[in-house]
Copies of this chain bind each other. A is one copy, B any other.
Amino acid sequence: MADIPRPTDAELSILRVLWRRGPSTVKEVHDELARRAPTGYTTTLKQLQIMTEKGLVTRDESQRAHLYVARLPEEQTQTQLVGDLLDRAFEGSASRLVLRALSSRPATPGELAEIRELLDRLEGDTK
């Protein structure tokens, strides 16, 4: 009961909105989503209801317009998704995944520096 399933594509779109906006009504989420890809209001509502059942989001019903909140923080979900991809396509090799990530997207010099700092920190711990 405590485990939360991997979000589907449509669910992830909704989670992104909730992470950015914080607690939001269906209308607010829908308006954001419909800006990029027009869709029906009830479609977003239904998604959020299913996500509530799955435990992906929680719902505050104290107001007339219910407020939805992502159950897990963005970082945790990202870590879950990366770990999942690692197992499914990279035989668990993190370095391979990093290799592909950096070769598939031109990272900015600033980003590369960030990663370098991260490496320094990690190697500092490994002693």
Contact = CB atoms under 8 A, between A and B. Distances in A.
A126 B111 CA distance: 12
Total copies of the chain? 2
A96 B101 CA distance: 10
B118 A116 contact: no
A78 B98 contact: no
Given A79-B104, A94-B102, A102-B119, 19 more contacts: A78-B89, A78-B90, A78-B97, A79-B100, A81-B85, A82-B101, A83-B104, A83-B105, A86-B101, A94-B105, A95-B111, A95-B115, A98-B118, A99-B114, A101-B101, A112-B122, A112-B123, A115-B119, A116-B119
Task: Report, nearest first, the 3 A-B pairs whose CB atoms are least far apart.
Answer: A95-B111, A79-B104, A94-B105
